[in-house]
Every structure is written in structure tokens, then in C-alpha cells.
Amino acid sequence: MRILIYGMGGMGGIFHRFFENRGYFVKGYDLNPDRSEVSYGEIDGFDVIFLCVPMDEIENALEDIARKNRSALIVDISTLKNLAIPHLERLGFDYLSIHPMFGPDSEIGLSNIIVVHESGREEERVILEEFRRAGAIISHISVEEHDRKMAEIQGTAHFLLFLFALTLRGRFGKAYHYGSPIFLVMHKLASRIINQDWRLYYHIQKNAEELRKEILENARVLDEIMKDERSFKGLVDELREEFDDYRDSTIVLDAYKTTVNAEGIDMLRGYIRAIDSLVLRLIEKRVEAGRKVAMEKLKLNEPVEISHVEDVKLRELVTKTELNPVMVSEIFERLMKLTKEEEYRILGVRKKVAVLGPPGSFSEETALKLVGSRLPLIYQSKVEDIFLAVESGKADYGIVPIENSLQGTVLQTLDALLRHDVEVFAEYESEIRHNLVAKKRLPLRDIEVVYSHPQAIAQCSEFINNYLPHAEIRYTRTTSEAIEMLDDRSAAIASELAAKLYRLQVIKRDIQSLTSNRTRFYIIRRSGGSVNGDESLTCLFFGVDDRPGALYRVLEVFYKNGINLRKLESRPAGTRLGDYIFFAEAEEKLGENIVEEIKKRTTFCKVAGFFRKVDRLDVFTG
């Protein structure tokens, strides 16, 4: 989906950043060439055009667009719909008409977005879903109702602020030092709208002429009521029934302090104190919201950690500030961690599990199957890092692939298992289903590039050779990293979970070469964990002298004790060429005497774990 922002002013800038941060192809066009990224001649190459010009310019702009591109979906964001919709209808555009109820430098999260018209196109669904995911509150009303409501909402608020300014004009100058909190906030808001484009506020007031008459009438009525104590009390009692939510209004007022131009050491100290206590209150609010999120996730059975959402959030935050991006990311990561800890506490989750990430990987899919979906996951980009996370205590458990029915042993896992102070305590076998996914529905012949992890590519080679012989293969470190590379002409091989998480289209399901493509995972923990008693398997490393029969003498121990070996691998010892270390899996929990016997016959022996097959992993106890 190619998005053009038509009019790169305050609102255009917001939508440009919003969609760019989410990985969309976005360009800006403006009459002012300094703000333009494409020329007028190029506007035909876009599927969606966000119309972000001032209301007086909407008609001209739509005429210009119609000359070049009639097929794009127009997104109208105008404040008043009677100024935009007749032109959209007349010119026969497909259009989505919304009213973002926020100004140019506001945050979209928790902002209201009113939808007044939809055309039914797929792009609309995607756009509204992105807003919803960013935490905007979306509601639907008719065009007529919208303009009526705007008279009540914006017409009233702005009129009263202008009235406030008009009444106080010349009385205070810049003497803010004796202002009360409410006065100061109103003064600030009046100044805000007075300093914006007067045409916008003129249109809003033009739409509110009827309502202004009511305001003036009410002012007279109020004046009369206020002359009499009892009637005033009566009015207040009545109003209280409707205007009852003043919770946290102090936060609104205290937030004003952060906007003060503090000067001099004493005032600056006070300023910083005010900011710190506000920041603390806001952090508490964030954590409180996390608790509620946990309860919601419990209802929906969703994972606590959806790191890619956090990545998007971090990226967006960093683009909004001039401060050191690394430090800002760190602070917010800590904040997210604090919130998440609270979520885990509410859910009763005690253990953290490290898996191969980013989210959407097959390892994550496996982890979710093992623990149910309420799982605190730590995503690592390499197998080695999972071992490090477990060894250092950052994660309680790690889930690592040990072998795949098509590709055989995962050597990084073997090598790491030998070197790190961790042990295997369980194994889990998972059926791996690969899917061809893309950003949108795409005929196979239009797929120019396929991204995925080398193993996934290998496992789907038959499908690729038969159906995508023309496509270029590009390897990525993980399957989900492949997803991040996607554009409109490429596809990735990924799990069903990844398709769901990243809202991708599944073009073809189950494209792996064998109908049964299974991967066995080890579940590891720090060495020295308590043995359960029902372990039925052992994995171990050993080395033998470089002489005939040395390996045979070790295998003899298994043979004599009637123990079946289901896996035997040799790995270079890393000392000199020809020196090997063996890795074996025995289908029994080896007793001490057997381990002793093996030790006698080897130059080195390390039991990497006594383990058992599991289909659940408990993260709620201990």
C-alpha cells in the first residue's frame, strides 16, 4: 500500500510519521516545494492519498488530484465535513472520511478519531486497524451528526476561550505569577488557539452560529442564577449529576507547570521538583494501566510480551525527541519492564523463557504451545544468546532447537551446550508448518524475492523450485527478520503465528517439503536444577583417545547395560585437526555407576542433562 500525504503541514506531518514508523511506503506532496518529496506528476502512483490541506483548499486540491489519480482512496481529515464531502462525492472518489480530534503535535494514543464515511475498500480496514492498534479511540457517526457535534464540542470550547481572552485583554499582560492553576491552564489554551490558523477557527465558529446564540442566552441566565445563593446551589447540585468526573484533574493542572518558563536557580529547582513528582505520578499511572492490561490479556489468553509492538513504540518515541536516542530507549525499556513485571505479578507468572526471536519465530510458536499463551518471553536473535541469557539468570528457561527431521542436528545448539553452564531438563517435539506470507494478496508469479532463514528455505525447496523458480532467494537470520524486509513484491516463509502477529496474508499454507516436518527442542536451565525423578533420557558429551577401539569401548558400556542410543554425533574438539568430541543421547536416565564407567573409558565426559519428554512447561510455580 503506497501512501501519499497531500499537504505536509501540521496534520500531514503526523500521518507521514505515523505510517512511516509502521513500515509503510509514504511520501509527502505539498504546494510548497520545500515540503514536497514527490512532484505533482508523480501523484498517480499511490493507492491512498491523505488529504491534509486547509479546508479552503480542499476543493482545489481534489480537482488537482482528480486530474492525475482517480483510483486512489482519499482519506479526508477535515474538521468540518460539509466543506469536504460534497466535493468528494461530486468528483466520484472512493473516500474514507475521518476527523482526528487532535492537533498537530498531539499523541495519537487515546485520541478520538471519528469516522463519518467509509467506501468499503481494503486499504480503509488497514488504516483504521493501525489507528486502533496505536490506541486511538474510533467511533462512527453520520456526516450531519458530526458537524452538529463539532458545533457543541469545538464551537463551545473555542468560543469560551476567545471570550476569556477578550475579557481579560489588557488586564494581566504577562503577569502570570499570581495566576491560579485553572486560570493558567485556560490562559494557555486560549493562547494556543489564538496562535493557530484563524481560518480553521473561523470555520468552526461559522458552523456554530446557532449554538453561540444559546451560549449568549445561557450567560444571561447564569448571571441571574448567580445573584441568588440558593438558586446557585440548586444549579451546582444539578450540574454535579452530569459533571462528576474530576479524578486526576490535578494532573492536568500540575502538568501546566512543566510549560512555565522557569528562570533563576530557585525557580528552576521548583520546576524540576514539579516535573519529578509529575513523572512519578505518570509512571504510577503507566504501571496501573499495565495491571489492567494483564487482566484483559488473561481474558483474551494473549501473551504479556509482544516485543515488536514495543519496538515500534520505542522507534516512534525516539523519532519524537532530540535527546540521546540510546538513553531515551533505555529509559523507556526500563519503564516497559517495570510495567511488565507488574503484569507478570498479577498473572502469577514466575519464570521467564528465552526463545529465538524476533516474535513470530517458530521457536516462539513452540514456546506458546508449551506454556499456553500467557508467557513472558525474552527474545534472542542467536541460539548462543539464549544460552547466555539462561546462564546469567536473565531467563529461567531457554528453548533451543536441537534437530529437525529434514536438516538434522542444529550444530550451534550442540556447541553452545558443551561450552555453557546449563543443562537440558526437557525436550519437546513440534510439528513445523511453513507458510508463504506477504503484505497483501499477491499472485505467485509477481513474487520477485523470497526472504527467510536458510533452514526454512531448505525445508521449502521443493515448493520454491516448482512454484517460484523465478524468485530471488534472500537469507535472513531468522524467519521473522524476513518479515521486516517485506515490500509489495516479496514474500517470506514464516509461521502462522508470525502471519497473525504482523497481520500478513498467508498466500500458501504448509509449503514444507515433507508433509511431516518436525523439530525437536531442548528446554534448558542453569546447571544444578532439581531432578524430577521421571527423567528417561540423558544427553552427554565425551572425548576419547585417538586410538583404535576407543569409541567402541565407550559404546560397549551402553551395549552391556542394554541402553539404546538414539543419537550419536561427532564435533571437532577445537584443539587440533582430527580431535573429536562425541555427543550422545541415551534412551534412559544413566545411573551414577554407568556414568562412572563411561568416565573411566573416556578422556573427558560431561552429562549435559537428564531429561524427559514434555508437552507443557510450568512458568507459574516456584
Ligand X SMILES: NC(=O)C1=CN([C@@H]2O[C@H](COP(=O)(O)OP(=O)(O)OC[C@H]3O[C@@H](n4cnc5c(N)ncnc54)[C@H](O)[C@@H]3O)[C@@H](O)[C@H]2O)C=CC1
Ligand Y SMILES: O=C(O)C(=O)Cc1ccc(O)cc1
Residues near ligand Y, by CB under 6 A: 79, 101-103, 154, 157, 193, 200
Binding-site partner at residue 37 among ligand X, ligand Y, none, CB < 5 to 8 Å by type: none
User: In the complex with ligand X, which residue's Cβ is closer, 61 or 399?
Assistant: 61
Closest CA to 354 of 391, 402, 311, 329: 391
User: In the complex with ligand X, which residue's Cβ is closer, 31 or 444?
Assistant: 31
Closest CA to 595 of 559, 552, 558: 558
Binding-site partner at residue 154 among ligand X, ligand Y, none, CB < 5 to 8 Å by type: ligand Y
Binding-site partner at residue 254 among ligand X, ligand Y, none, CB < 5 to 8 Å by type: none
Q: How far is the CB of 189 from ligand Y (least distance, A)?
A: 8
Binding-site partner at residue 52 among ligand Y, ligand X, none, CB < 5 to 8 Å by type: ligand X
User: In the complex with ligand Y, which residue's Cβ is closer, 207 or 413?
Assistant: 207
DSSP characters over 324-391: -HHHHHHHHHHHHHHHHHHHHHHHT----EEEESSTT-HHHHHHHHHH-S---EEEESSHHHHHHHHH
Assess whether the previous peptide bond of 358 is cis (omega < 30° from 0). yes
Q: How far is the CB of 164 from ligand X (least distance, A)?
A: 19
Binding-site partner at residue 8 among ligand X, ligand Y, none, CB < 5 to 8 Å by type: ligand X
Residue nearest to ligand Y (CB): 79
Binding-site partner at residue 216 among ligand X, ligand Y, none, CB < 5 to 8 Å by type: none
User: In the complex with ligand X, which residue's Cβ is closer, 50 or 463?
Assistant: 50
Q: How far is the CB of 358 from ligand Y (least distance, A)?
A: 36
User: In the complex with ligand X, which residue's Cβ is closer, 10 or 529?
Assistant: 10
Q: How far is the CB of 198 from ligand X (least distance, A)?
A: 11
Place of cell 526472504: 451
- Residue numbers of the site for ligand X (CB under 6 A)? 6-12, 30-32, 35, 52-55, 57, 60-61, 77-79, 100, 103-104, 197, 200
User: In the complex with ligand Y, which residue's Cβ is closer, 199 or 292?
Assistant: 199
Q: How far is the CB of 64 from ligand X (least distance, A)?
A: 6
DSSP 446: G
The three grid cell numbers given for residue 541, joined into one nine-digit string: 558429551
User: In the complex with ligand X, which residue's Cβ is closer, 200 or 537?
Assistant: 200
- Determine the Cα–Cα distance for residues 255 and 274; give it in Å rounded to an integer: 9
Binding-site partner at residue 61 among ligand Y, ligand X, none, CB < 5 to 8 Å by type: ligand X
Q: How far is the CB of 341 from ligand X (least distance, A)?
A: 37
DSSP 314: H
DSSP characters over 55-103: GGGHHHHHHHHHHH-SSSEEEE--S-GGGTHHHHHHTT-EEEEEEE-S-
- Determine the Cα–Cα distance for residues 426 and 535; give it in Å rounded to an integer: 8
Burial of 438 (0-12, 13-18, 19+ CB in 10 A): buried
Residue nearest to ligand X (CB): 9
Report whether 211 contacts 152 (CB < 8 A): yes
- Determine the Cα–Cα distance for residues 93 and 333; give it in Å rounded to an integer: 44
